[in-house]
Structure 1
């Protein structure tokens, strides 16, 4: 019986060592993948920052053009602004009416 216990113990120790080796391999693989993912995320962040900077510059340039046009043509700017505001109000009222009507139907 003592020999059977020793064999079982030796077998368990062998399995534990194999599991430790597998765990080490898995840990190295995960570390490598995490490092690759971090590098890719950093590259994506730099690209996104560059594109955002370009987009912000374009928006500033276009806003400046619109502001200059509004200064040169205040009547037209007021008409366009009022029309857009009125259309926005009407669209909001229409959507609000549809939402209220759909809530009543429930």
Structure 2
């Protein structure tokens, strides 16, 4: 004698739950990325009146991929993060990331 059990309903439910969890994870990653950007905008030095806030305002989030990407295209942002300015501590980028990921 053979017993057959159709688990298609369970599979469908699990697929739906997985999709919901993936969306929740994406939403949380996006929220975290925006929180990190807010934190990063607190740190870079303001500089001279001509360059006032360029590094600070250079932070943004690219939401177009599978996961959000935080970026800053200001050419001297690495120097600032390495401690070039006395107005910002070295490693402020890593500190902002650590604040929201640990």
TM-score range with shorter-chain normalisation? 0.3 to 0.5
> When the two structures are superposed, what TM-score results if normalisation uses the length of structure 2?
0.45
- Larger Rg: 1 or 2? 1
Greater relative contact order (Cα < 8 A, sep 6+): 2
Report the structure, 1 or 2, having the larger strand content. 2
> When the two structures are superposed, what TM-score results if normalisation uses the length of structure 1?
0.44
Report the structure, 1 or 2, having the larger helix content. 1
